[in-house]
Amino acid sequence: MFLIRVWSDTKDILRFLSSLCLTIILLGTQCYKKDGEVKMAIMAEKTWEKHANPWSGWTRMITYPLLYLPFWFLSDFLNEPSANWFMPVWLFFVIIWFVINPRIFPKPKNYDNWMSKGVFGEKLWTANKRYKDINIIFTIIPAPFFVIALYTTYMNLFWETMFFASIPFLFKLWFLDRMVFYYEENKTK
């Protein structure tokens, strides 16, 4: 009986997560027409320059742990939606923050810092479609840990959540570090 309930909860959570991810992707992407062909960009050039502001990068990084907080109260919300109305509101604000964060900060005066180089390295890496090189593992490996962290958060398992949530966070920092190297190697090309 317990396994059936866990499986049902897991299916609901995965359904919710997939729609959440699709929403973030659709809000964050931009379509444009070039040479008569419709293309999709993660961000416009102007947005990448604003996102290279260290305030944008670091405030986005410290927001990642706030993504787990609504899932801590998800079971309460599902049992009593009117008493736990703040859960979807909090989640909405976190998602909106992730979408507007690269756009609200001004362009920095200079780009000679670790976070700016990491952002521009990611821009170059994405533009060059380098999805087959080793850096893709920094995106693929943390994904299941992120899902497990959301599940342990939903189950209110504090230390397990801390463990599984720290792995994607550390991989994101490692990915940014690799993007700094990628930027330094490819900035003149």
Indicate the burial class of 115 (C-beta count within 10 angstroms; 0-12, 13-18, 19 or more): buried
Strand partners, 34: 37
Averaged pLDDT score across all residues of the chain: 81
* Residue 1 binned pLDDT confidence (cut-offs 50, 70, 90): very low
% of the chain exceeding 90 in pLDDT? 48
d(CA 153, CA 46): 36
Q: What are the backbone angles phi and psi of residue 34, rounded to the nearest 5°?
A: -135, 125
Q: Which of 148, 145, 127 is nearest to 137 (CA)?
A: 145
The rounded distance, in Å, linking the Cα atoms of 54 and 56 is 5
The answer for 37, left when phi > 0, alpha when psi is -120 to 50, beta otherwise, is: beta
How buried is residue 74: exposed, middle or buried, by Cβ count under 10 Å (0-12/13-18/19+)?
A: buried
- pLDDT at position 165 is 96
100-136 pLDDT, tens digit per residue, is: 999 999 999 999 999 999 999 999 888 887 667 777 8
What is the per-residue pLDDT across 160-175, written as a single tens digit (0 to 9) for each?
999 999 999 999 999 9
This model's pTM is above 0.95: no
* Vertex 184: Cα angle to 32 and 24 (nearest 5): 35
pLDDT value at position 5? Answer: 47
Q: Is 157 left (phi over 0), alpha (psi -120 to 50) or beta?
A: beta
Q: What backbone torsions phi and psi does residue 129 show, to the nearest 5 degrees?
A: 50, 50
Work out the pLDDT band at 8, boundaries 50, 70, 90.
low
Average pLDDT over every residue of 37-65: 83
Tell me, rounded to whole angstroms, the distance of Cα 170 from its chain centroid. 13
